[in-house]
Amino acid sequence: MNRYCTFCRIVAHEEPADVLYEDDEVMVFRNRLRWVPVMLLSIPKAHMTQSEMWSGEIMPKVGAAATKAAQEHCPGGYRLISNSGYDGMQSQEHAHVHILGGIFLGEYA
């Protein structure tokens, strides 16, 4: 039995999402969280782990979609973040890259 995956349901158009880009393999949509003015997610449409995304052939496509969306929605600059595992504070098992911007993001740890 497959585990419930919000991102897979968004890909299947079974959950609502503000989709900004979609092709056969990649999707970019607005994150429901609003910690900064622009919070987007770039995901492979196929369910996979962060490690599988980063080491596989899909990463250039996820990265290109993330960069294009970031340039369009964050003209002053942006940050791409990819949390992995519990210690990295990954909250969704479905691989994804966060696109943050719309404000000066400051320094980070």
- As annotated, the active-site residues are 96
Nearest CA to 82 out of 94, 96, 70, 68 is that of 96
Residues 27/15, Cβ–Cβ less than 8 Å: no
Please tell me the distance from the alpha carbon of residue 36 to that of residue 19, in angstroms, as a whole number.
Answer: 18
DSSP helix/strand/coil, 32: coil
Residues 35/105, Cβ–Cβ less than 8 Å: no
Tokens of 62: 């996820």
